[in-house]
Amino acid sequence: MNTDILIIGSGPVGATYARLISESKPDAKILMIDAGPKISDKIGQHTKNISDQKAMEKAQILSQGPKKTPYPMISVAERAMAVQRGELSADVLARAGTHLVLDQIEDIKNNEMPSISMSTNIGGMGVHWTCACPTPGNGERIPIIPTHEMDESLAKAREILNVTQEAFPSSPESVTILNILNQTLGTNHSPNRQAQPMPLACKTDEVGNRYWTATDVILGVTMDNPNFEIRSDTICRKLNHENGKVIGAEIENIVSGEKETINAKIVIVAADPLRTPQLLWASNIRPKALGHYLNEHPFVFTFVELDKDLVKNYSQNRKVECDPSQIENRKSKDPTIGVFLVPFDAPNHPFHGQVMHMDFSPMKTTVSDDSKHIVGLGWGCLKESNFEDCIVFSESEKDYLGMPKMNFKFHYTENDLATIEAARVFQTKVVRLFGKEIKDGSQTVMPAGTSLHYEGTTRMGIENDGESVCNTHSQVWGFENLFVGGNGVIPIATASNPTLTSVALAVRSCEKIIELLR
């Protein structure tokens, strides 16, 4: 088969490539493939948009690769405590909609990132993500891209993802939460880097129901273009290449076993930060940095019972407009009724604070009254980028899809441990102001791999010096028609959710691809 564009991977980044290229070149033939199945009636929709609970659970199970049964209900704290006790298993470490890269007990015990996971489905991890889209702060900006160019790409990314800070209505509790966060943060922050509602990728209707952004939203009218095709259950096993050009992609339908070679003018690999380098490695495209500089921010998490008297005092002193029906009229069983951001802002606050407000407890806790409001506090911090932190690809062993098996090297340096402790100390200040920390959800450093925010494995750079895989337009060094996309392209350590940045980098990359097509 001949096509103009082959996109491998159907998550938010792959969908962004398809949308922008289709808008600019509607006559271009675009084929998108994904190794995973279609998991719901609507292609690529977020599982939180599925109102029927059984249908949502079915969609999550279909995303779990070799794991064909539901995971047991387990809290964040229970997961961390089990890891500390050495009780390592897929049921403990993975979450609904994902599956561990290594799910055998011995592999998990020997894996330095025990919780490293992925989703295998149309829409990728984008049908399960939190939709959090904070703007990167000082210390998280990619220094090799001019600031004005990155700002323009970030603005376009927000448009594509439908980012808003008005996803959740105001309430006495939300006003209290923001006041406490800003009280702790102080006034030395950069402009617009105060505590605020989390920018979220979603739209709300007139009664407050949210429709969360995923591949279906991003693609939009691209799905109606007769020159666009999306195939599920279709894996790319190898990219054939010669003289710096991909000349054919060997693909296979996992269900039927049918094999085919795709000839494309442009090939974009946007599988995820693990399977993108895996495919390049399997294709004998092996820059020195491929799979190296694997990064993920450490994550400290805890739960607090919000002090009712505190809320009462704040409410009496401030006029709070609140429409309770917008909170009560929600389709899912998700207890979250507010998400807040304490932005990364070095040096004043060199961490990323993500705060979730829930109107009933999402886990087994010492809280007996479900009417009590619970606040979940997650603090992420920077981890140093090191060449030695990497994916190790096997020359002989295969994963469940028959691709090179992966293992991982990942360690915290002394500087990393000091940064984690500093994040823990700051979080403790916030906890003390909120109220009573919940015993069963007490402050814990989550196991490596938990955040799902993996970066650096196909990192970009400004020259082909062995320290990067692609240039600043995501074009693989030495290739005229091969591009990579996703969180793996981010070349620096970040503490915040990376999807907005990855989509912005895809926006920038599309400019180069459209230029080549012309």
Q: Evaluate if residue 511 carries a pLDDT over 70.
A: yes
Among 186, 259, 269, which Cα is nearest to 7's?
Answer: 269
Q: Evaluate if residue 75 carries a pLDDT over 80.
A: no
| Paired tokens of 144 | 């090799």
Specify the pLDDT at position 302: 87
Return phi, psi of residue 441, to 5°. Answer: -125, 35
CA max distance for the chain: 72
All residues at 6 or more sequence positions from 185 whose CB lies less than 8 Å from its CB, including other chains: 194, 195, 342, 348, 349
Q: Is residue 66 part of a domain?
A: no
How many domains are there within the chain?
1
- CA–CA separation, 443 vs 436, rounded Å? 12
Q: What share of the chain is helix, strand, coil (3-state, %, to 5)?
A: 30, 25, 45
For tokens 């993802």, the residue is 161
Q: Is residue 362 part of a domain?
A: yes
- CA–CA separation, 323 vs 183, rounded Å? 26
Lowest mean pLDDT among 48-62, 140-154, 166-180, 445-459: 166-180
Q: Is residue 489 part of a domain?
A: no
| Paired tokens of 1 | 């088969």
- CA–CA separation, 481 vs 460, rounded Å? 16
| Paired tokens of 85 | 């006790």
For tokens 């980098």, the residue is 505
Q: What's the pLDDT tens digit per position in 27-71? A: 999 999 999 999 999 999 999 999 899 999 999 999 999 998 988
| Domain assignment of residue 372, given as a range | 164-212+299-381+411-447
Packed helices 12-24 and 499-517: angle between N→C axes, nearest 10 degrees: 30
Q: Is residue 148 part of a domain?
A: no
Q: Does the predicted model carry a pTM greater than 0.85?
A: yes
Among 275, 244, 216, which Cα is nearest to 486's?
Answer: 275
Specify the pLDDT at position 87: 75
Q: Evaluate if residue 97 carries a pLDDT over 90.
A: yes
All residues at 6 or more sequence positions from 416 whose CB lies less than 8 Å from its CB, including other chains: 298, 383, 384
All residues at 6 or more sequence positions from 398 whose CB lies less than 8 Å from its CB, including other chains: 404, 405
All residues at 6 or more sequence positions from 29 whose CB lies less than 8 Å from its CB, including other chains: 2, 3, 4, 5, 227
492-499 mean pLDDT: 97
Among 322, 323, 266, which Cα is nearest to 14's?
Answer: 266
**Helix residue spans in 265-359 (DSSP H):** 275-282, 308-317, 324-328
Q: What's the pLDDT tens digit per position in 407-416? A: 999 999 999 9
pLDDT band per the 50, 70, 90 thresholds, residue 341 = very high
**What is the per-residue burial (b if ≥16 Cβ within 10 Å, else e) of 401-426?**
bebbbbbbbbebeeebeebbeebbeb
462-477 mean pLDDT: 97
- The residues assigned a catalytic role are 453
| Paired tokens of 74 | 């387990």
Higher pLDDT, 304 or 159: 159
Strand, helix or coil for residue 259: strand
Q: How many CB atoms lie within 10 A of CB 282?
A: 19
Mean pLDDT, all residues of the chain? 90
Q: Is residue 398 part of a domain?
A: no
158-184 mean pLDDT: 92
- CA–CA separation, 488 vs 485, rounded Å? 7
438-459 mean pLDDT: 85
For tokens 């296979």, the residue is 252
Q: Is residue 191 part of a domain?
A: yes
- CA–CA separation, 291 vs 278, rounded Å? 8
| Paired tokens of 476 | 């693989």
Report DSSP letters for 392-405, one per residue: EEEEEEE-TTSSEE
Among 100, 91, 145, which Cα is nearest to 120's?
Answer: 100
Q: How far apart are the first and last CA of the chain?
A: 21
Q: Is residue 399 part of a domain?
A: no
Q: Is residue 361 part of a domain?
A: yes
